[in-house]
Amino acid sequence: MKKILLSVFVLAALGACTKDLNETTVSTADNDNTATIVNSADEAVRGEIVVKFKPEAESVLESTASRAGATRSGVADVDALLETIGTTAVERVFTITDSNRDKVYRSGLHLWYKLSFDENADLEMVASKLAHIAQIGTVQYNIRVKRNYTRRATAYESVQHATAQTRATAAFNDPLLDYQWHFINTGNTSVTTPIKAGSDVNCDKAWTLCTGDPSIIVAVVDEGVMYSHEDLAANMWVNTAEKNGSSSSDDDGNGYKDDIYGYNFVSNTGKISWDVSGDVSHGTHVAGTVAAVNGNGKGVCGIAGGSGNNDGVRIMSCQIFSGESGATTSNTAKAIQYAADNGAVILQCSWGYNSGLDTEDAGFVSESEFNRYCSAEKAAIDYFIDNAGSATDVIEGGIAIFAAGNEYAAMPGYPGAYERCVSVAAISADYTPASFSNYGPGVDICAPGGDSDYAKSAAGTILSTLTPAESSASNPYGYMEGTSMACPHVSGVAALGLSYAKKLGKHFTASEYRTMLLTAVQDINQYMTGTKKYYYYYSNYGTSYPETMTLSNYNKQMGSGYSDAYLLLLQVEGTPCVTMPVTTGTAKAIDLATFFGAGASALKFKSVTVSAEDKTAVNMTACTLLGSKLYVACYKPGVAVVTVTALVGGTSQSSSTAPIATEITKKFAIVVRDGGTASNGGWL
């Protein structure tokens, strides 16, 4: 059976890029150009076409088409066609300002133009004629991005909740943290069931090191985020020049007017909306997972929401959905560029095209197909990855994170499957793959996304912020599920890691940090045995449609593992990790040469220390030095940080007859897992 949950937006088969396209390649005897019309005219915006000119047209475009109000390109063959179709505008797709000019030209975005003309003109004829012209490399219909969903949010108040306590040692006073098993999972069956301790992103440990930093900006490319929400307002990105400037004026010179909290690319206005008929709180919900304010005594927590002292990461709303409408593909690409140019370093995208293996609405099955059919969108994503972060001293470039999709397919959808993006699959409260989640080659990592058909309750899904229309004005919180909900967990973890890097004065390239993010994981493959029973659309049909998943099909198919915020923070600070299985007999030996070098046997090891909290976390009953080995017994999965001190160059530090020894110290983390070391066999 196929279902597409509300929690993933799908650029549907009639969206910007589809596989079964009416592809047209035009070539004439006296023109060797083979410009390709890359998508279908079905449901394209009438009177608009997007083209990418070849570099040789740049000089004439600069003198003609780049001017405000231009109706001609300066390219003779193009203008001859434009003359016949009632052209009203020739304008660049991507915004160019004094501050981003070099980056835009270096990336080739300046060659993309949108042509606007009489809506009654034959769109396919116009595209075909444009494809004849030697100076044009790509012709792309301008489709309105659509979303496909089948379920709305479930308000918190409509769910029966038992008294729960999942917050472990976290000090935050947010009342609904108890039910956010996806942040801190103690295995409490009063929250939901089935459930296993540790099936979370390990916020409890991570928050002891860092809770966020306001210099880190996450762009939520989605529905509009409710910037006035009681649990989000303090952590919204605010463009102070526009907030304090004049109405209908581009006060900061970034090419957009009144963009105080971001920009609405559906209506081309600075007014972010979230209460249009057809909105489902999706943007507001994912924003809460990333950065709902912590420690404010209200609602829920966010992974990088700070400590209640105005120190959370910031959410920028890049709106591409509004009610039943979506932005055009050209404006969606522009939204991604906007995020890069205005300070965002994480691109949070809980949307994507259907999996190429979806039997009803197939998307792309290969990177080459995505590259070919989604030229403008790919160009924008590459621009973000290459150019975001220029306003920070933490990361050089940006991290683009996408939902893997909810088609039950053994392959994620694009753009997430694009090798430069991070594609996120979903797991349930007991480590098993969510029944709906895409998996397989192209998935990079997994995180909690919930599974109501398995838990037979919304409480087994993801609790976060909602708009009053989907909940209530007095309690604007509720549940959603999907890889759309798993995606912001990874975005939040990534933002938290960059916050910690800021705190420590660290700097990474985007490539370095992406590698850290994808290796800061716990092993998921140990749980891929047996079967899992779920009930298709339980909220609608009850137990009428039982289905069974064979979990071995997901072995090494859920990416590198499930995201662990604490392990990422340890990587950021440079603390190495060693893995070991849960102890079943005697203590296990860890060779200290791993940390002290090959000459460890010549050192005199002085002491080993572990905090009482960490000992409890892994039920550590032994941690003893013997020669150059550390013998450890841990009877519970988790992470414990160990500090070992050794002496080199002497026999002691108080000897009066020999040189005083030099004391050296190494800190490392012991990661204890049910199944031992991770196989990390997923696709990277």
pLDDT of 8: 38
Strand partners, 504: none
Classify strands 422-427 and 399-403 as parallel, antiparallel or unpaired: parallel
Q: What are phi and psi of 579, to 5 degrees?
A: -105, 150
For residue 443, what are its two tokens?
A: 């998935």
Q: By the 8 A CB rule, do 616 and 648 touch?
A: no
Q: By the 8 A CB rule, do 343 and 238 touch?
A: no
Q: By the 8 A CB rule, do 395 and 497 touch?
A: no
Kind and range of the H or E run holding 494: helix 483-504
Q: By the 8 A CB rule, do 365 and 301 touch?
A: no
Distance CA 427, CA 446 (A): 7
The pTM of the full predicted model, rounded to 2 decimals, is 0.90
Distance CA 332, CA 328 (A): 6
Q: Please enumerate in sequence order all residues whose Cβ is within 8 A of that of 76, keeping only pairs 6 or more positions apart, or say none.
A: none
Beta strands in 273-364 (DSSP E): 314-322, 325-326, 346-349, 351-352
Question: What does the CA dihedral 376, 508, 504, 103 come to, rounded to 10 degrees?
Answer: -50
Q: Give the burial class of 445: count Cβ atoms within 10 A of its Cβ; 0-12 exposed, 13-18 middle, 19 or more buried.
A: buried
Distance CA 480, CA 175 (A): 19
**Domains of the chain, first to last:** 17-143 (no CATH), 154-570 (3.40.50.200), 575-673 (2.60.40.10)
Q: By the 8 A CB rule, do 24 and 39 touch?
A: no
For residue 483, what are its two tokens?
A: 């890889």
pLDDT of 149: 60
pLDDT of 359: 62
pLDDT of 657: 61
Q: Which of helix, strand or coil describes residue 184?
A: coil
Tell me, rounded to whole angstroms, the distance of Cα 97 from its chain centroid: 27
Distance CA 383, CA 339 (A): 10
pLDDT of 11: 42
pLDDT of 680: 31
pLDDT of 673: 82
How confident is the chain (684 residues) per 10-residue block, as mean pLDDT? 32 34 37 52 87 96 91 96 96 96 96 96 94 93 74 87 71 92 94 95 95 98 98 98 95 96 97 94 97 97 96 98 91 97 97 74 74 86 94 92 92 90 96 96 95 96 96 95 96 98 96 94 93 93 95 94 96 92 92 89 92 92 94 92 88 60 89 57 21
Distance CA 639, CA 520 (A): 12
